Structure 1
Amino acid sequence: MPDSPTAVVTCGPAYEPIDSVRRITNHSTGEIGVFLSDALAARGFQVVCFRGEMASYPAPASARVYPFTTNDSLEVLFDALPKTPSAIFHAAALGDYRVASVEGGKVTNKIRSDLKELVIRLTPATKLLPLLPEKFPHALIVGWKYELDGSRDDALERGRRQIATVGTAASVVNGRAYGEGFGLLEGGEVTHFADKLSLSAHLADWSWRKIVLKA
């Protein structure tokens, strides 16, 4: 459907290189991106999936899939979109830091493996979510908050801060701090979902109502 709204889904891990063979990355299979892409496509969206090239879960057949590596390479994909998206679901596990320098060995293509000690200095990587509302001011943007430390209330409060500081329409909270399942924060309320499939189906219906039905 040429007039269908476009939804962008990001999923899987980014990485930052240490040398030509070693990387700093996050654990993420990219599975949620497949469930989201399938649910959005079934609802009527044209779906673009930006998928970390190290994701282990098979890519969705329901979307146009483009691989990314680093946080910056994902930003390049966003900037190259031919059509402004109506919705963005930013579930990718991006890195918080990149390598600034390596001390204790000369970095060429591969750091020698017989060195006694290496000191890797990290510096903050590009935070992409805060850039999206400025890049796409009319898009419905949903962020993710994966939290391991603290209680469920702590995790939800971090999700609320994400919405307040970034200006997203909603935030999905999960991880050990939240516990089993997922919490969707939107409009000051939290809705619990037991699994990725039910969360994805709800997000597809919810975004369709807001974008297409204006409800």
Structure 2
Amino acid sequence: MLNGKKILLGVCGSIASYKSAPLIRLLAEAGATVQVIMTPEATNFITPLTLATLSKNPVLVQYYKTETGEWNNHVQLGLWADLMLIAPTSANTIAKMANGLCDNLLTAVYLSAKCPVYFAPAMDLDMWKHPSTQNNIQKLISYKNILIKPAYGELASGLVGEGRLAEPKEIVEFLNQSFGKMLLLAGKKALVTAGPTFEAIDPVRFIANHSSGKMGFKLADELANLGAEVTLIAGPSNQETQNKNVKRINITSAEEMLQQCLTYFPGSRICVMNAAVADFTPKIVANQKMKKQYQNLTIELKPTVDILQTLGAQKKHDQILIGFALETNDGERYALDKLQKKNLDLIVLNSLADIGAGFKTDTNKVTMIDKHLQKTEIGLKTKTEVAVDICQKIIQLLNK
């Protein structure tokens, strides 16, 4: 379950922090990418060098790299992760998390995290049982944070009781079981298209559009994060998927995308057609580079096959087919027309008139309209967050 997952591992000041070393090794063996964040106090118990060596990533401790002044961006770290695990979590850090205090990088990242957060307390018996600690833990649980309970055993003080950090193997097993429950699309195949198509004029020139593929790639990642078996058919794009389980097929033209869609569509339960496919392609493609020898040049175009309409005509009753509409005017009218004519279950509309939405941006602002004409407006968010919202809508459609 952890294969391909991006994990933020927070390490707090506790004698139990030595267990973070074998924990990192087990997470890496499970196929996860681990980014360690330590509190300054934690560095007194185990060195950043040790954890950097095991995680194969630089360990972050401070907001800034003092030698360069470079900022360790807590917001981006919070968006990057599939899950955040704080192990060990000290009583001090639990209190800060529960009350919104962020006087170090770890707690700042916690407050920015959009992913599930797991915390594994480690402290002495009396600290664990103190009412303030128990109240803070209940606060964190009410915030939807997930508690990995400490074990009963001998503690650093010599006392015997609760407060001992769960063993690394137990923590990994807990994550696997918990994450498995979150994989709501496990066992389902998904098809996603993304990016533009390039329609050749000659061996050098082509007709294209401004699509970067960002939205489609985020959707493919989020579907995979939810357990779906994702095939991504991508037009020319420099984007990369973050989830290693996404199968990527690169194409160039609308015709190539059509053929790949026809191959994978029949076996896909979820089909998200996000690509900006060219509506027209040259009737004749020159074999050699066309020289600038005419003052006026006419290139005859012919329509490309409408991939979305083709798939809509073949759609089975148990398939979910989603289209996208990018309009400059009368967006909702065109989107509703597309929804009905192409036999879609959901249309996602955005507009080039909205600042921060559309091509090449890292943010988007969309309206989802389903086949029952139920409308959901999503304000300006990162494309990662919009992908999460769209995938939650897909889960709702599957369960209807």
Q: 1:145 aligns with which of 306, 313, 325?
A: 325
Describe the SS at the equivalent of 1:188. Answer: coil
Deviation at 1:38, TM superposition (A): 1.5
Q: Which has the larger radius of gyration?
A: 2
Unaligned runs of 5+ in 2: 2-185, 358-364
Q: What's the counterpart of residue 182 of structure 1?
A: 366
Q: Residues of 1 paired with 2:227 and 2:256: CA distance?
A: 28
Q: Residues of 2 paired with 1:127 and 1:58: CA distance?
A: 26
Q: What's the counterpart of residue 338 of structure 2?
A: 162
The answer to whether the 8 A contact 2:265-2:271 is kept is no
Return closer, same or farther for 1:59/1:42 CA change in 2, 3 Å cut-off. closer
Q: Residues of 2 paired with 1:51 and 1:82: CA distance?
A: 15
Describe the SS at the equivalent of 1:21. Answer: coil
Q: 2:215 aligns with which of 17, 29, 32?
A: 32
Deviation at 1:47, TM superposition (A): 0.8
Q: Residues of 2 paired with 1:209 and 1:184: CA distance?
A: 13
Can you list the C-alpha shifts for 1:119-145, whole angstroms capped at 9, x where unaligned? 111121111100112333231001000
Which shows bigger deviation, 42-51 or 189-198? Answer: 189-198
Taking structure 1 as the reference length, the TM-score comes to: 0.86
Q: Which has the higher helix share?
A: 2
Name the % identity. 22
The answer to whether the 8 A contact 1:5-1:46 is kept is yes
Q: What's the counterpart of residue 349 of structure 2?
A: 173
Deviation at 1:89, TM superposition (A): 0.6
The one-letter amino acid of 2:280's match is Y
The one-letter amino acid of 1:185's match is I
Q: Please state if 1:197 is matched with 2:384.
A: yes
Can you list the C-alpha shifts for 1:118-175, whole angstroms capped at 9, x where unaligned? 1111121111100112333231001000112x2xxx2011111111111100101112
1:6-21 matched pairs, under 5 angstroms: 6-21=189-204
Return closer, same or farther for 1:34/1:44 CA change in 2, 3 Å cut-off. same
Q: Residues of 2 paired with 1:16 and 1:135: CA distance?
A: 25
User: In the comparison of the two structures, how many residue pairs are matched?
Assistant: 203
Deviation at 1:82, TM superposition (A): 8.6
1:16-165 matched pairs, under 5 angstroms: 16-52=199-235, 54-60=236-242, 61-81=244-264, 84-101=267-284, 107-137=286-316, 138-148=318-328, 150=329, 154-165=330-341
Which shows bigger deviation, 108-117 or 39-48? Answer: 108-117
The CA RMSD over aligned residues, in Å, is: 2.1
The answer to whether the 8 A contact 2:269-2:319 is kept is yes
Which shows bigger deviation, 174-183 or 25-34? Answer: 174-183
Q: Residues of 2 paired with 1:127 and 1:79: CA distance?
A: 12
Larger RCO (CA within 8 A; separation ≥ 6): 1
Return closer, same or farther for 1:183/1:82 CA change in 2, 3 Å cut-off. closer
Which shows bigger deviation, 91-100 or 172-181? Answer: 172-181
Unaligned runs of 5+ in 1: none
Describe the SS at the equivalent of 2:299. Answer: strand
Describe the SS at the equivalent of 2:268. Answer: coil
Deviation at 1:15, TM superposition (A): 1.5
Return closer, same or farther for 1:168/1:112 CA change in 2, 3 Å cut-off. same
The one-letter amino acid of 2:375's match is V
Describe the SS at the equivalent of 1:79. Answer: helix
Q: Residues of 2 paired with 1:117 and 1:139: CA distance?
A: 48
The answer to whether the 8 A contact 2:191-2:265 is kept is no
Can you list the C-alpha shifts for 1:73-95, whole angstroms capped at 9, x where unaligned? 11111222296100111010100
Q: Which has the higher strand share?
A: 1
Return closer, same or farther for 1:79/1:101 CA change in 2, 3 Å cut-off. closer
The answer to whether the 8 A contact 1:14-1:70 is kept is yes
Q: Residues of 2 paired with 1:207 and 1:62: CA distance?
A: 19
Q: Residues of 1 paired with 2:215 and 2:393: CA distance?
A: 17
Describe the SS at the equivalent of 1:120. Answer: coil
Q: Residues of 1 paired with 2:200 and 2:390: CA distance?
A: 34
The one-letter amino acid of 2:196's match is P
The one-letter amino acid of 2:368's match is L
The one-letter amino acid of 2:327's match is E
Q: Residues of 1 paired with 2:343 and 2:394: CA distance?
A: 16
